[in-house]
Chains A and B, each alone.
Chain A
Amino acid sequence: MPLTLTRRNVLKFVGGSIAGMMVTPLPWKLLDDVAIWTQNGPWIPKVPRGPITTAFSTCALCSAGCGIQARCVNTIPYALSGIRNHPANNGTLCPSGVAGHHLAYHPLRLKSPVQLFRREETIEVQPVSSEEILGKISAAVAISRNAGEGTLALLDQRPGRSVSLFYRNQLAMHGRGVYLVSPTDPILITQCLDEMVGTSFGPVGYNLERVRTVLSFSAPVLDGWGTPVQTSKMLAHRGSSGQKGARVIQIDSRYSRSAQLADQWIPIKPNTEAALAFGLAHVLLREGLYDKALIQSRALDFQTKGKHSYFDLVGRFTPDHTAECTGVSRDVIVATARALAAQGPSLVIGDGDSGGGPLGREAEMAVWGINILLGALGSNGAIVHHRAVPAPKEFSANGLSPVQGVSDIPDHSIGVLLIDASEQGDPLPWSLLERKLIPDQSLVVAFSPTLTGLAQHTHYIIPTPAHLEALTDVPTMLSSATGTFSVSSPLLRRPEGTMDAREIMGKIFEVEGTLEELLKQRTSAIFESRRGRVFKASTGSSVQLTELGSSDELWAELTAGGMWMDDPVRSKPLPEFHFMGRSPAAYERMLDAGEGISSSNEPDAPRKITVLPYGRRAEVGGAQLSPLMTKLYQESGLHRSSKVAVLNPATAKEFNVANGGRGTLVTERGTQEVTIRVDGAVMPGVAEIAVSPEPVGQAGTEIVQEQDILELIVPDQAPTWRAFRATLQKA
């Protein structure tokens, strides 16, 4: 019976096969397995498996010094939380801190040294050896030392660390070394006080627990200015807790977070803070709301009559005149001054927004002036004097290069600029820095873990360990009432090609030693001072330093999420001082600051808008942001980047732009496209724009230059960039 191959037979065979297949597991198991494949395919990320451990350290993203507890898998941290009862954060963390362990994986992370080439919109990098870069720096340093051509400048993005002392020490010994900090750095604010007093007043802090009224001049008081514990206490009277807290009055041109959260928001014309400070002083003086005997005995420029005296200066700023300058109504000025005096203890904070630029020396001195009149500074005041964190003796012996703001040094003077961007600090317009360089002859090198922020403008970058890979100490926060010291110990192994800033500087200046040794020396100095208390992460409580057996024991606590807090000292009585400082022509400068650059008075070319840049602490200056920060920026709009301008509806109408539409901002320095957001709460005539670029969630194929609103600043305008004018067109 031959089996003939006919069409019919083939069909029957196929039919049989199909029927047979249905009673085998094949189709059904395949269906199931394919579905499982869609659940577990190789393109779906897999979670790590391994032993779970807990590690402790301190967050170094800002100077709050929050204690962090890391849950680790295979010793790699996968989630961070705060350490309970920690004096800085009591178990909580800010958004940047909570994702701090991601910074090591930043899409623009560098793991070997590179040379940069800035193209039109992108940056190309080429690998170079660190020896080559160090050789170039050493040669340039030698030229600057010997030939006297150009200075050697070091910009410290996080002043106040132990390594900062090392820098200042080396720069002092170099002879032509300059130690630079951002003009917004809090150190410069205390320098203003020093100028009034005539000598170094010493570190000051704010005892927020003692005050009933806080007046803030654009400081982000409720948004990262203090530690989480301090902020929480200031907000404690809200909601259900029934606790008491300070009343916060926020003076701000922007509808900032602090303005939103404050008990009272006083909107003010941009750059008129000095005038308002004088206006408030005027009311205090006129109504005698100050300790006359004390002030008259201490203030050296407080003659009730004389021309060019403080009295004379403030006398010009009557409530009406101040109202005219600042746009704040007369009644509000008077009421605020009275409230400060009546609902004491009160204090005034002049520290500007970290992205928005400094208030300016004169305005800061005007603010200190009010503090003095209110008695906030002095024996019973809420602004307290504290002692510096003990340091190894060798630093004081060798001398320290003075701290200078970038705008304080002459143009075209820097031959070699080293930028320590290993920690992110306050942002700074590159244009401000660029004009300090000797054109076409300078060498600019950054030490940075990522290709972000100022590092994008340099010639070379030597990569440093990222946050939580690096060992570093956390300096005392401005808001802290006593000196504090904590150490951020590495939780992650640093990549092979990275060097910490101490190693790099050690090579340049040919100094032996490591950062760890430096920090241990500092720890010994603290231990030997026998002062203060130590918070222990392991027990969640503090003990007297003297209860610790050795410096090594202190070191062990500090590197495991601990914190050293100095004992408070009795506040110094108010020393003799000049309200207007001691510089020549002080009166004129102060008057200018008050009357001066109020933007409303300048005859404007039509269609110009006042841009108000701002920043958020730990989310600016290098924008070393966790890739997950796209959640706050691109994915929810809760935080805004440099790509978004927020305008009052009336202003939007005036400039013919619509909510969600695009606009182009133009200054002499360039143009920037922004998305317009309309917000009825914003002051008319201004555009609020954040300085941070958008966080990078995923690396692109090429490195795109950051779009930062600060790039539009025309450097000649003013030493500050709190407000600048630009044209706005519909894009």
Chain B
Amino acid sequence: MDQTTVKKSRYGMAIDLDRCTGCGACLIACAVENNVSPGQPKVNERNGTTWMRVFEVQDGRPFPDAQTAFIPMMCQQCEVETPCVSVCPQNAVEVDPETGIVGQIPQRCLGCRYCMTACPYHARYYNWWDPKWPDGMEKALNPDVAPRMRGVVEKCNFCHGRLHEARARAAAQGSRQINPSDYIPACVEACPVQAIAFGDLNDESTDVALLARSERAFRFLARLGTETKVYYLSGRDWVRRLADRELARSKKETLHG
């Protein structure tokens, strides 16, 4: 059997911004799954570690007409010219050709943070402190994800530990092909309103592939040309205009003009 017999996947997500309630379950489920340590006493919004961040945005109209949307944002898994990959001096970042997932290996990382400046989505996080858990809590860490150390960068990898688990499960049955229902990232699983769809974009029949082609779908900063694999869905015009600055500006002009 050859490697070529294994189907190449492009894992992606579609997040429905019209459903997201900003509860934060995805953010916590992500931190639990990926052994992200609790914040230090001095932690703040700019130096904490949240592989998945939910931004609260408004349309800018004043009280009482303001509209709010929540934008969960994790690594967008850029497919083409992935900004963080080419900059890493020691190959700690790469796009897995088999899954399309952008991998970050903290043990290879030297902590130069160049990739962080390269990422327009601010999806990369640096360990400013030693990761520490309260007494006894280390026994409750996820065995499938290695904890990181101070001084390295980490980020979302679509819960790769779960892909390992799914592959092992398939292998136990003698198969190289995973069962798609075995591989669902923690944020997707936790979402109380099921706003996130996940799956293989190469497989036309998956929900995520259908949603990615829908009229409501858009991607953030798509004009950078990095072909991200996280799609966002919204029927609200002002939300869709958040995709990039040129679009956001066109709205302002129509308002004022």
**A residues apposed to B, CB below 8 Å:** 38-39, 41, 43-50, 52, 73-74, 76-82, 89, 91-99, 101-102, 104-107, 109, 222-224, 228, 231-232, 235, 238-240, 255, 257, 260-261, 265, 267, 626-632, 634-639, 648, 679-684, 697-700
A-B CB contact pairs (8 Å), 13 listed: A45-B133, A77-B140, A98-B32, A260-B22, A261-B21, A267-B64, A628-B28, A631-B28, A635-B39, A636-B24, A638-B24, A681-B68, A684-B63
**Across the interface, do A698 and B140 meet the contact criterion of CB distance under 8 Å?**
no
**Across the interface, do A102 and B48 meet the contact criterion of CB distance under 8 Å?**
no
**Across the interface, do A231 and B189 meet the contact criterion of CB distance under 8 Å?**
no
Of the residues B28, B64, B189, contact of A91 by C-beta under 8 Å = B189
With A632-B27, A634-B39 given, can you name 11 additional A-B contacts, CB distance below 8 Å?
A39-B149, A47-B141, A47-B144, A95-B27, A98-B32, A99-B32, A232-B192, A628-B28, A628-B36, A634-B44, A680-B66
**Across the interface, do B233 and A698 meet the contact criterion of CB distance under 8 Å?**
no
Q: Chain B interface mostly helix, strand, loop or mixed?
A: loop
A residues within 8 A CB of B170?
Answer: none
Closest beta carbon of chain B to A560's beta carbon, Å: 20
**Across the interface, do B140 and A631 meet the contact criterion of CB distance under 8 Å?**
no
Residue tally, chain B, CB below 8 Å to A: 72
**Across the interface, do A45 and B58 meet the contact criterion of CB distance under 8 Å?**
no
Q: Is B112 an interface residue (CB 8 A)?
A: no
B residues within 8 A CB of A107?
Answer: 134
Q: Is B35 an interface residue (CB 8 A)?
A: yes
**Across the interface, do A683 and B16 meet the contact criterion of CB distance under 8 Å?**
no
Closest beta carbon of chain B to A683's beta carbon, Å: 6
Of the residues B23, B49, B147, contact of A44 by C-beta under 8 Å = B147
Residue of A nearest to B215 (CB): A240
**Across the interface, do B45 and A636 meet the contact criterion of CB distance under 8 Å?**
yes
Report how far A106 CA is from B139 CA in the complex, Å: 14
Q: Is B56 an interface residue (CB 8 A)?
A: yes
**Across the interface, do B136 and A260 meet the contact criterion of CB distance under 8 Å?**
no
Residue of A nearest to B136 (CB): A105
A residues within 8 A CB of B257?
Answer: none
Q: A231-B193, A239-B195 are in contact. Are A47 and B40 (CB under 8 A)?
A: no
Q: A47-B145, A634-B45 are in contact. Are A78 and B140 (CB under 8 A)?
A: yes
Report how far A336 CA is from B36 CA in the complex, Å: 47
Q: Is B178 an interface residue (CB 8 A)?
A: no
Q: Is B222 an interface residue (CB 8 A)?
A: no
Residue of A nearest to B193 (CB): A232
**Across the interface, do A45 and B143 meet the contact criterion of CB distance under 8 Å?**
no
Q: A48-B138, A81-B190, A255-B66 are in contact. Are A630 and B43 (CB under 8 A)?
A: yes
Residues 188-243 of B contacting A (Cβ, < 8 Å): 189-195, 211, 214, 216, 233, 235
**Across the interface, do B68 and A39 meet the contact criterion of CB distance under 8 Å?**
no
**Chain B 8-48 interface 0/1 with A at a Cβ cutoff of 8 Å (1 = within):** 00000000101101111101110111011111110111001
**Across the interface, do A697 and B138 meet the contact criterion of CB distance under 8 Å?**
no
Report how far A77 CA is from B143 CA in the complex, Å: 11
B residues within 8 A CB of A101?
Answer: 140
A residues within 8 A CB of B53?
Answer: 636
**Across the interface, do B149 and A41 meet the contact criterion of CB distance under 8 Å?**
yes
**Across the interface, do B36 and A257 meet the contact criterion of CB distance under 8 Å?**
no
Q: Is B1 an interface residue (CB 8 A)?
A: no
Q: A49-B143, A92-B192, A240-B214 are in contact. Are A635 and B134 (CB under 8 A)?
A: no
Q: Is B135 an interface residue (CB 8 A)?
A: yes
**Across the interface, do A98 and B29 meet the contact criterion of CB distance under 8 Å?**
yes
Q: A630-B48, A636-B45, A648-B63 are in contact. Are A257 and B22 (CB under 8 A)?
A: yes
Residues 107-140 of B contacting A (Cβ, < 8 Å): 107, 130-140
Closest beta carbon of chain B to A403's beta carbon, Å: 30
**Across the interface, do B35 and A47 meet the contact criterion of CB distance under 8 Å?**
yes
Closest beta carbon of chain A to B146's beta carbon, Å: 7
Closest beta carbon of chain B to A494's beta carbon, Å: 13
**Across the interface, do B211 and A635 meet the contact criterion of CB distance under 8 Å?**
no
Q: A92-B25, A223-B21, A239-B16 are in contact. Are A638 and B190 (CB under 8 A)?
A: no
B residues within 8 A CB of A626?
Answer: 28, 38
